Chains A and B, each alone.
Chain A
């Protein structure tokens, strides 16, 4: 019902252009965005899209990657680095003369403290660092500042160099102002309770204020070593309703609208005052087929379902502008990503496969579906194509928390979901789609392969070996091989890769949508 009305509103708005009069201040970037997922501002804990973007604009890390070509890694807070011959010791030379907004100079000790702190606090994203053998007990020896400008990191094994480096580009490796954080330490919490809602970093912008579900502001860091941004302030308003975002944008009360749907984007395309920016993101959309379900555990059924999704049809309709067809677990842009798309909607082939599996007349099955757009529309499209082969798909709608709780408990038949990489290295997705070290119900590690009860000792070994391969070309080969097997046999129907879209007023230039959610950057924004 609500959807219907939204369509009517969009249609009315499309047919009549909004006269624009309002204008935002020239030194302020005003953006509408839904950021209700922010639950913390502490980079040691941040693991949500919006907060990661906040940290990407306000916290430097030791190193960063080129957004145009992610294989190029360059120094940010570190000027240069070397890797020992055995591949286990990384030595970083810090950039000199960098000063935190608090006035404290940045040293190697700040970098060491930040990484140690993330490991010791051991919040959700800490595994990105602890996977290299750091623990609360050993991290002060394994990551340390030998002098003001030299930081040494020792891993427990010789991992692929880029794996370690990419992990150091992620939010959890952001550098915090040790002195400032420790001034706010309480009961040995390493300043955690303070930093949750405060700021202690250095970046092109610094934190202004955050009112949950209402407002987030950033202020220019005039003393930034890389040059201060053109915008003095960034004002981000939480606007949950896409139609409202569209109105604000057309009216000129905001410069950027971040959460528009296909209908709205279509109606803005011909507007000369608006440009549509987009870039391919790392998030992939997939169906997870629970192997605890007897029907879904049959290889031929899994195969058949892969032929029962109208990839191209959906790309042109329900997910238009928002997704592109992609069928392997490594997103385009990652080392070794498999770009082949062997599956298309082929009902006859699917029917043959189903008959061979013993289900010539199809079967009944449920799918847990988040009741948000475009997941719901995708589910309905899939329901229609499944039906063509006699499969009766019952969509069980639910809120995000509800469907996820069920999925994590392996109580689903089919789950429609998405997965975004945690860092820019292929291991992040191999780790979850193609590794399942322990398939028992009380396993410590519960990757996506576990959630779908897919027991794969062989593939787990392949994925582990790829993480340790130090020759990049060879490593890319290994991932290609892994994806080919995965694509053909896995209980994952990988369908699409996300495209992030922002509608921007024509006089606002330089907003960057990067490949990962933490590199949507405001530093280069200018207004004419």
Chain B
């Protein structure tokens, strides 16, 4: 999934390159580049989906349907038309807000996405919070104590985060914290008797239950999310702390730091205000990228924790050549990348006085 990011930088560049943007021209430029990005994204996904050696009809009719049923379904799906026609029809439907129906779930794709994406959003957000709240301080410490034991310890923690398969870590986490210690509840988003108590509004359980004032449900959802989010967050922690460390090292060797120290500014202030203040600017991009990655859905985490998210949905759809679902989910992922990139652009301007 590098396409959205690649397309994105082009879109972002177009957006920024206007020297004296009137709000209208900026908006127009943005819309055009967004449309092109989406169209390109859809086109590539569509072609990939059509050239994979999996017959999409199989997912619907199964292995044993008689020949005439297979042919009829092929026609119903429009698979007998030329590729460009199929693509044109799809794009036309999308423009009218119709993402089609998933053959695997028998639901409109938009309904499916409304169900699975909030689950992923919730997990990715909590995981990223975890990654940032721990990863940034760890990175700062590693930078300050570069080469000494805190740095080494943090390096080991980060290395483990990179190299242990999430699948294994997840199961071990469940074994320890759920099965043995009983600190957290089991897999899934809720204990099943809390299921259905809160009407989905945003689909994010923590928000929906809080808005409804159902605090039992809220705490149950929170206790369910802790472990998968921590495990997923461990990966962003590893990444974020490494990046923070190198940014910090770069800042700490700058002359303004020496100047501050010479002027007698307290050391904690030099580190946590002066140096870190400048680190935030590149760090925002790092965090945004890591967040966007998690929002694509993490299939293995979702499988181990029975978390009904976007990653599992997308993978299932892809393996069954359920193209409406694949394309719909891809658009969501694309939109997320673009949205987060715009957001980090915005934050960039807020954080970096030179960009104002």
Write the A211-253 contact mask toward B (1 if CB under 8 angstroms, else 0).
Answer: 1111100000000000000000001011111011001101101
Contact digits for B87-120, partner A, Cβ 8 Å, 1 yes 0 no: 0000000000000000111110000100100000
Task: Report how far A6 CA is from B300 CA in the complex, Å.
Answer: 13
B321 contacts A251, CB within 8 Å? Answer: no
Neighbouring B residues of A432 by C-beta, 8 Å: 64
9-residue interface stretch from B26-34, B150-158, B301-309: B301-309
Q: Are A248 and B187 in contact (CB under 8 A)?
A: yes
Q: How far is the CA of A12 from the CA of B61 in the complex (A)?
A: 41
A444 touches B66 (CB 8 A): yes
Cα–Cα, bound, A12→B168 (Å) = 12
Contact A21 B168 (CB under 8 A): no
Are B321 and A36 in contact, CB atoms less than 8 angstroms apart?
A: no
- Minimum CB–CB distance for B69 against chain A, Å: 6
User: How far, in whole Å, are A123 and B227 apart by their CA atoms in the complex?
Assistant: 44
* A244 engages B171 (CB within 8 Å): yes
**Cβ distance A29 to chain B, nearest Cβ, rounded Å:** 11
Residue from the list A8, A9, A445 in contact with B67, Cβ < 8 A = A445
B85 close to chain A: CB less than 8 A: no
Is B255 close to A, CB under 8 A?
no
Decide: A243 and B104 in contact? CB cutoff 8 A. Answer: no
> B46 at the A/B interface (Cβ < 8 Å)?
no
Binds A, one of B2-10, B50-58, B124-132: B50-58
* Interface: B83 (CB within 8 A): no
In angstroms, Cα B54 to Cα A124, docked, is 19
- A405's contact among B53, B67, B182, by CB below 8 Å, is which? B53
B69 touches A122 (CB 8 A): yes
Q: Which residues of A contact B178 (CB under 8 A)?
A: 247, 251
A256 within 8 A of B: no
A40 to B72 CA separation, bound complex (whole angstroms): 18
- The reply to whether B179 and A244 form a contact with Cβ atoms under 8 Å apart is no
A244 with B104, Cβ < 8 A, contacts A13-B175, A18-B179, A408-B55 known: no
Complex interface: stretch among A101-109, A350-358, A394-402, A480-488: A394-402
B306 touches A239 (CB 8 A): yes
B residues near A406, Cβ cutoff 8 Å: 53
Spot the interface stretch: B139-147, B270-278, B312-320, B340-348.
Answer: B312-320
Interface string of B287-313 (1 = CB under 8 A from A): 000000000000000011110100011
Q: Kindly state the separation between the CA atoms of A404 and B308 in the bound complex, as whole angstroms.
A: 27
* Across-interface contacts of A2 in B (CB, < 8 A): 165, 167
| Closest partner residue, chain A, to B72 (CB atom) | A122
Task: Tell me if A25 counts as interface (CB < 8 A to partner B).
Answer: yes
Does A272 belong to the interface (CB within 8 Å)? Answer: no
- Measured CB to CB, the closest approach of chain A to B98, in angstroms, equals 15
Q: How many Å lie between the Cα of A318 and that of B272 in the bound state?
A: 57
* B contact residues around A19 at 8 Å (CB): 179-180, 182
Q: Is A94 an interface residue (CB 8 A)?
A: no
B186 contacts A251, CB within 8 Å?
A: yes
Question: A30 in the interface, Cβ–Cβ < 8 Å?
Answer: yes
Contact status B193-A5, CB under 8 Å: no
Q: Which residue of the partner chain, among B54, B68, B105, contacts A401 with CB atoms under 8 Å?
A: B54
Q: In the assembled complex, which residues on chain B have CB atoms less than 8 Å from the CB atom of A402?
A: 52-54
Tell which of B63, B72, B304 touches A241, judged by Cβ atoms closer than 8 Å: B304
Q: Is A196 an interface residue (CB 8 A)?
A: yes
Which A residues lie within 8 Å of B308 (CB)?
211, 213-214, 238
Tell which of A12, A47, A213, A401 touches B321, judged by Cβ atoms closer than 8 Å.
A401
Residue-wise, chain B 237-256 has the 8 Å CB interface mask toward A (1 for contact) of 00000000000000000000
Alpha-carbon distance between A9 and B175 when the two chains are bound, in angstroms: 9
B105 touches A212 (CB 8 A): yes
- B172, CB-defined interface residue at 8 Å: yes
* B residues less than 8 Å from A123 (CB atoms): 61, 65, 69
> Contacting A444 at CB < 8 Å: which of B68, B167, B187, B320?
B68
Q: Is B174 an interface residue (CB 8 A)?
A: yes
Chain A residues whose CB sits within 8 angstroms of the CB of B64 once the complex forms: 47, 124-125, 422, 432
Alpha-carbon distance between A122 and B195 when the two chains are bound, in angstroms: 37
Contacts of A196 in B (CB 8 A): 106
B residues within 8 A CB of A248? 186-187
Q: Tell whether B188 is near chain A: CB-to-CB under 8 Å.
A: yes
CB distance B172 to A251 under 8 Å? Answer: no
What residues on A are CB-neighbors of B193 within 8 Å? 25
**Within the assembled complex, what's the spacing in Å between the Cα atoms of A139 and B175?**
57
Interface check B257, CB cutoff 8 A: no
Residues of B within 8 A of A263 (CB): none
A39 within 8 A of B: yes
Residue in contact with A124 in the complex, picked from B69, B175, B180, CB distance below 8 Å = B69
Contact A244:B187 (CB < 8 A) given known A19-B180, A237-B192:
yes
Closest to A20 in B: B179
- A residues near B82, Cβ cutoff 8 Å: none
**Contact between A247 and B58, CB atoms less than 8 A apart:** no
Q: How far is the CB of B314 from chain A (nearest CB, A)?
A: 11
Report B-chain residues with C-beta under 8 Å of the C-beta of A18. Answer: 179-180
A196 to B62: give the CA distance in the assembly, Å. 16
A400 touches B319 (CB 8 A): yes
Contact status B104-A212, CB under 8 Å: yes
Confirm or deny: B284 has a beta carbon within 8 angstroms of a beta carbon on chain A.
no
8 contacts between A and B (CB under 8 A): A13-B175, A48-B62, A127-B66, A211-B115, A215-B195, A239-B187, A248-B187, A405-B58
New A-B contacts (4) at CB < 8 Å, excluding given A125-B64, A446-B67 = A19-B182, A21-B182, A244-B306, A408-B55
Chain A positions near chain B (C-beta within 8 angstroms): 1-2, 5-6, 8-9, 12-13, 16, 18-19, 21-22, 25, 30, 36, 39-41, 47-48, 122-127, 196-197, 209, 211-215, 235, 237-241, 243-244, 247-248, 250-251, 253, 399-402, 404-406, 408, 422, 432, 443-446
